[in-house]
Amino acid sequence: MSIFDLTISKRNPGYGRLLAASSITNLGDGVSALAFPWLATLITRDPLLIAMVGAAVRLPWLLFSIPAGVITDRHDRKRLIVGSDTVRFVLTLAVVALILSVVEFPPAREGLYIAGLTGLGFALGLAEVLRDNAAQTLLPSIVQKDDLEAANGNLWTVENIMGHFIGPPLAGVLIALALPLPFLLDAVSFAIAALLVAGIAIKPRAARPLRKPRDEMREAWTWMRAHPVILRLAVMLGLLNGLSIMGMTLIILVSQEILQLDAFWHGVLMTSAAAGGVAGGVFGPRLIKRIGQERAVWLALALFPMPMLAIAVTSSVWVVAVALFVESVAALVWNIVTVSYRQRVIPDELLGRVNSVYRFFGWGGIPIGALLGGLLVSLFETVLGRELALRLPYLLAASGMAGLALYGWRKLRIS
C-alpha cells in the first residue's frame, strides 16, 4: 500500500509542485520547531518566558487572521505564498545572525535576548498566517472537489513525515554540530518552496468588485453565522487548540526535566507524533469514508483527552510516545474532515475570508493557551513543586477536552 495517492498529481496539474513545496518547508519547520524552544531554554529556564516565545509565533493567528482573509480574496494567492515564503527566508536568516552575534547568553541579559527571539517569532507568525491562508484557499483551485480529502491527506502526511518524523531528530543532530545550522536549513527550505510554488500554472481568478475591507469582513462573518456547523467547529477548534498548546508549549521542559532527554532524544520522542500523523494521513480518508464525517469527528473528540491525561500522570518515555501518537491521529482525522468540509461548502469568492474568520477562532486560542500554560507553571511551582506544576497544564487540558467531547457528541452534526 502506497503512503500517497499518486494519481492525484496526474489528474490535477500543479498539485505535485504544491506537495513538494509543502514537503520542503515542513522539513525546515520541523527542524526549527525543536530548535526554537531549545534555543529559548539555553537563554532562560523561566517557563513563562519560554512560553512567550511559543505564543509569539501563534499570536498573529489571533490578531491578523481576519485581515489576512481579505488580502487572500483580493490578491493572487500564488504570489502571496511566494512572497510570504520569501519573507520567512529573510527573517530566519535574522535568527541565524542573532545566534552568530552572541558567543553565550549571559543570565543578566536573558530578557533582552528573549525579547529579540519573541519579536522574530511574531514576524515569522505574521508571514505564516498569510501564507497558510493563501495555500489552503489555493488548493481547491488546483484540485478537483472529489480529490480534496485525498489531497489534504497527502499534504498532512507529508507535513508529519517531514515536519515531525525527520525534522526533530535532524534538529537534534544539527544542534549538536552547531546551533545556527537548524535555522539555516529552515531558511533554505523557504527559498526552495517559493521557487516551486512560483512555477505552478493557475488560471486567473475572475475579477470581483472591491469594497471596503470592513464590509468584506462583515460579509464573511454573516455567511459564517448563517452556517452554524462551521461556526461551531471553529469555536471548538479554538478551545481544543488552546487546551492542547497549554501543555505542549512546555513539552520541552517535560522532556528535559522529567524524562531526562537531550536534544537528539527529544527529537526522536517527537517522531512518535509524526508516526501518528502519518497513520492519520494514510488511513484517515479511508476511515472517514467508511464511518462517515460525523462519526469520524466524534471519534477524534473521544481520543483528544487521553494523551493529555497520560502525559499528566506518567514519567515513562514510552507512555508519552504513545500519547503523542494518539494525539496526532486524532488531530489528522479532525483536520481531514473539517478542512475538506470547508473547502467544499464555502464559495470560492468567500473562501479566504471565511477561512480567516474560522482560523481567528480556531487558532486564536493557541497564543492564549501557550501563555496560560507558562503562567500556571510559574504560579504553582512554589506550591506544588516544579514537577507537579509542569504536569498541571496537561491535567487541566484533559478535563477541558473531555467536556468538549461531551458537547460535540450532543451538538455537532456534519452532513
According to the model, what pLDDT value does residue 105 have?
65
**3-state class (DSSP) for residue 227:** coil
The model's pTM is 0.70
> Are 192 and 86 a contacting pair, CB within 8 Å?
no
Q: What is the DSSP string of 249-287?
A: TTHHHIIIIIS---HHHHHHHHHHHHHHHHHHHHHHHHH
According to the model, what pLDDT value does residue 12 have?
67
According to the model, what pLDDT value does residue 294 have?
85
User: Could you identify the residue written with the cell 493529555?
Assistant: 308
Amino acid at 393: P
Q: Number of C-alpha atoms within 13 angstroms, CB side, residue 285?
A: 20
According to the model, what pLDDT value does residue 35 have?
82
Q: What is the pLDDT along the chain (415 residues), one digit of tens a residue?
A: 344 555 666 676 778 888 888 888 888 877 887 788 888 888 887 888 887 887 788 788 788 888 888 888 778 888 999 999 999 999 999 989 888 877 566 666 777 788 888 898 899 889 988 888 888 788 877 877 777 777 777 776 777 678 767 777 788 788 888 888 999 999 999 999 999 999 887 766 655 566 677 788 888 889 988 988 899 999 999 999 999 988 888 888 899 899 998 877 887 887 787 788 778 877 888 888 888 888 999 999 999 999 999 999 999 999 999 999 999 899 989 988 888 888 788 887 787 788 888 888 887 888 888 889 888 998 999 899 999 999 999 999 999 999 999 999 988 887 6
Residue 61 CA to residue 53 CA, distance in Å, equals 15
According to the model, what pLDDT value does residue 2 have?
45
Compute the chain's Rg from CA coordinates.
20
| Residue/partner pairs of 265-268 with CB below 8 Å, 24 or more apart | 265/172, 266/34, 266/38, 266/168, 266/172, 267/34, 267/167, 267/168, 267/169, 267/170, 267/171, 267/172, 267/173, 268/168, 268/169, 268/172
According to the model, what pLDDT value does residue 155 have?
79
Among 224, 201, 197, 179, smallest CA distance to 41 is for 179
Helices (H), 143-292: 148-160, 167-177, 181-198, 213-225, 228-248, 251-253, 263-291
Our separate counts of H helices and E strands in the chain read 18, 0
According to the model, what pLDDT value does residue 87 have?
95
At residue 377's C-alpha, the angle toward residues 371 and 379, to 5°, is: 95
According to the model, what pLDDT value does residue 1 have?
36
According to the model, what pLDDT value does residue 153 have?
73
End-to-end Cα, the chain, rounded Å: 29
Dihedral over alpha carbons 121, 126, 130, 131 (to 10 degrees):
-20
Residue 206: count other Cβ atoms within 10 Å of its Cβ: 7
Residue 73 CA to residue 137 CA, distance in Å, equals 9
Amino acid at 51: A
Grid cell locating 367: 497564543
